[in-house]
Homo-oligomer: A and B are copies of this chain.
């Protein structure tokens, strides 16, 4: 492998909520608890779950913290099909025209008009690593995975920020399609 190796993490279904949505679902003044820090600085998993209701079925998802400026439910295509939601493949934050859903918490519920997406494969990368790898913000790259289910992911978007740690993120469909296991969690930008 070259020096363009990158560690890959799988994202399970989860959601981000606004302060307002959080208080509607969990009550006024509710604060998100940190259960586990994630690889991206400042981001954390919480012990709080809410129910996402689609036209066909529903399930619980974990809230990731901290609160954001928009509600966003991130699913795999398998998850979206299960719920019966036709969610587009989008970058985080690019929510215009995406479908909504109902969110139910212990103290209330919210109908969001948009925000359900399937995350586009992406690389979070520091400016230092981006320079080293020769990639730029918003660039689309391809990433090669080895092993039993070797494949090359095309359409991987690069996002450069000093607030990031360098990791590639895929969902569980992609993780399993590539058989990315604990002992095979590295890709190479090609």
Contacts and interface: CB of A to CB of B under 8 A. Distances in A.
Interface string A16-45: 000000000000000000000000000000
A148 B155 contact: yes
Interface string A123-138: 0000000000000000
Interface string A152-190: 111100000000000000111110111100000000000
A138 B77 CA distance: 31
Contact of A150 (B155, B171, B173, B178): B155
Nearest to A148: B89
A190 B153 CA distance: 15
Most buried by B among A149, A155, A171: A149
Most buried by B among A76, A89, A121, A178: A178
Given A151-B151, A152-B152, A155-B148, A176 B77 contact: yes
Interface bracket on A: 20 to 34
Interface in A37-92: 76-78, 81, 89
A176 B89 contact: no
A177 B177 contact: yes
Nearest to A174: B177
A76 B176 contact: yes
Nearest to A150: B154
Contact of A151 (B89, B148, B152, B179): B152
A121 B171 CA distance: 20
A1 to B, nearest CB: 15
Contacts of A172: 78, 173
Interface of A: 76-78, 81, 89, 120-121, 148-155, 170-174, 176-179
